[in-house]
Amino acid sequence: MAEVAKRERRRAARAPGAARAVDTAFFVFGGVAAVWLATLLLQESLHWRMIWFSLVFWAVLAYLVLPRLHRILTRVYLPDYFIGRARTSDGLLGDPVNVALLGTEDQLHATMRRAGWTRADEVDLKSSWRIIHSTLTKRSYHEAPVSPLFVFGRQQDVAYQQEVDGNPGKRHHIRFWRCPPDWVLPGGARVDWLAAGTYDRAVGLSLFTLQITHKIEEDIDRERDYVLASVRSAEPDIEVRVIRDFATGYHSRNGGGDTISTDGDLPVVDLRRVSTDPADRVPEPTDSRDRRPAPTTFGAVLVFCRGLASLAFAAALATDGSPLGTAVAQQGLRSLLPAAAAVVAAFGLTEIAMAWFIYRGGNRARVLTMSLSALAIVVQFVNVLSGGPGISFATNLLGLALDILLILALSSERARTYARRRDALTATEPRAP
C-alpha cells in the first residue's frame, strides 16, 4: 500500500511539467489562431455593406487578440516574482502596491467600514452589467466591482471604494491581498496584507489593449495619503511606519497605459489594536484560484451548445421529412441515414458530457476539447493553403470563430489554474477502500 502511494506521488510530481508544456502549446496556438481570426474579420469589415462589422473586429482585437499577445510576451520579459506591482489578467504590470497592513481580516473590514468605505461587489455577470448600465446612465453604484489585479498569482481578496458625486466613473478604490504564510517583503519586513490604492478619474480606452476601462489619476501618492487619512480619522490610535523608497522601479504606466508617478514609499499600517464586533466578521474567503472563472464557464457553455447543435443535426438526418434528410435520401443514401444520425447523436451526447466535466473543473476534458478544436482549426487552415475556398460567412467563419474562442477560453491562465487545482484536490481525496 505504501509503495502504491509512493508511485502515485511520483506520478503527480512528474505530471505538472508535461501539463505545463501542453498548456503552453495551446496558449500560444490560441494566440496565433486569434490573429488569424482578427485578419479574417478585418477582411469582412472592409466591404461597404459590412462596415458595421468593424465593431466586431475591434471587440476581437481588444478583448481576445491583444490580451493574448500581451500575455505571451510578458511571460518572456517580466520577472516571475514580487516587484511591488500588481498585474492585470493580461499579464501587464498593473497598479503599484502602495500600502501594507498588519492585522486580521476582521480588523481590516472594521477599519474600512468605520472609515466610510464600501466593499466592492465581486465581478460576475450581474455586477458587470450593473456597472455598465450605471456608467452609461451615470447612476450611483456604491458597491461597483473593480477589475481583477493579481499579486501572488491570484486576484485581490477584497476591494473597497468610495464613489464620487454619485458617478460610478469616478471613485476612490483600493484592493487588498492576503500575504502567504511566512512571506516577507523585500528587505525582510513581515506584513499580513498588501494593497494598491488608486483614483479612477474617468472612463476611456486602454492604451495597450484598446479595451474600455477606468483611467486613473497620475499621482497615486495622493490616493495613498487619502486612504491613510481616512483610516486615521476612523481609528486615531493606529500606528503607521513608512518604508522609504520601497518601490521606485517599473513606475511609468499601469496596465491600462495611464501614466503613474510615485515616491515609492510604502506605509505599513498596524491594525492589531483595532477592536471588532460581530458585524465586522466575514466568512473565510476562498482562494480566487478555486472559484470557477468566467472563461471556464464560457468554454463549458460553448461545448454544451455545440453538443445541442449536433443533436439537432442528428435529428434532421434521421427525419426524412426534414430538408436535410430529404436531400440525403434523394442522393440514394437513405440506408445510411440511421447510422449517420446515430454517430452524430453520440458525438453530441459526448460533447454535452464533456461540457459538464469542463464546468466541474476536469482537466482531461478541457485538454481533449481543446485538442479537437485545434484539429478542426488546422484542417481548415490547411484546406485554405491547398487552394480550397477561403474562410468567410459564406463558408465556415462562424464555426472557426467558435473553435478559436473555445481554445482562448480554456487555455487562459485562470481556466487552466482552476482545472489543475481541481485535479490536485481530487487526487488528494481519500479513496474508498
Contact (Cβ atoms closer than 8 angstroms) between residue 228 and residue 266? no
Greater confidence, 12 or 312?
Answer: 312
User: Does 210 or 363 have the greater pLDDT score?
Assistant: 363
The residue among 204, 223, 224, 222 whose CA lies nearest residue 213 is 204
Regarding whether 300 and 190 lie in a shared domain, the answer is no
- Whether residue 79 lies inside any domain: the answer is no
Chosen domain end from 224, 259, 285: 285
Does some domain include residue 43? Answer: yes
Q: Are 251 and 335 part of one and the same domain?
A: no
Write the pLDDT tens digit of every residue in 161-211.
998 887 777 899 999 999 999 899 988 889 999 999 999 888 888 888 888
Instruction: Say whether both 156 and 248 belong to one domain.
Output: yes
**Could you report the per-residue pLDDT of 219-254, keeping only the tens digit for each?**
889 999 999 999 999 999 899 999 998 876 556 777
Shared domain check, 349 and 242: no
Cell 503552453 locates to: 24
Total domains in the chain come to 2
- Please check whether residues 243 and 295 belong to one and the same domain: no
**Does position 351 have pLDDT exceeding 70, yes or no?**
yes
What's the pTM?
A: 0.77
Decide: 148 and 121 in contact? Cβ < 8 Å: no
Among 266, 285, 304, identify where a domain stops: 285
Domain annotation covers residue 88:
yes
Per-residue pLDDT band for 8 (boundaries 50, 70, 90) equals very low
What is the reported pLDDT for 325? 54
251 and 106 share one domain: yes
Judge if 296 and 414 occupy the same domain.
yes
| Of residues 235, 165, 176, the one with CA closest to residue 200 | 165
The answer on 9 and 144 residing in a single domain is: no
Grid coordinates representing 223 are 490616493
**Residue 140 CB neighbour total at 10 angstroms:** 12
The CA distance from 393 to 397, in Å, is 5
What does the block give as the cell for 104?
486580521
Query: What's the domain range around 35?
Result: 2-74+291-428
Do 230 and 318 sit in the same domain of this protein?
no
Q: pLDDT, tens digit, for every residue of 91-135? A: 888 899 999 999 999 999 999 999 999 998 887 777 777 877 777
Strand 99-102 vs strand 266-270: parallel, antiparallel, or unpaired?
A: parallel
232 shares its domain with 299: no
Least confident segment among 36-40, 77-81, 259-263, 330-334: 330-334
Closest CA to 37 of 381, 280, 365, 316: 381
Backbone dihedral angles phi then psi of residue 86, each to the nearest 5 degrees: -80, 170
Residue 433 included in any domain: no
Q: Is 264 found in the same domain as 349?
A: no
Query: Is 132 within the bounds of a domain?
Result: yes
Q: Report the chain's mean pLDDT, rounded to a whole number.
A: 83
Looking at 285, 311, 330, the residue that finishes a domain is 285
Q: Are residues 47 and 63 in the same domain?
A: yes
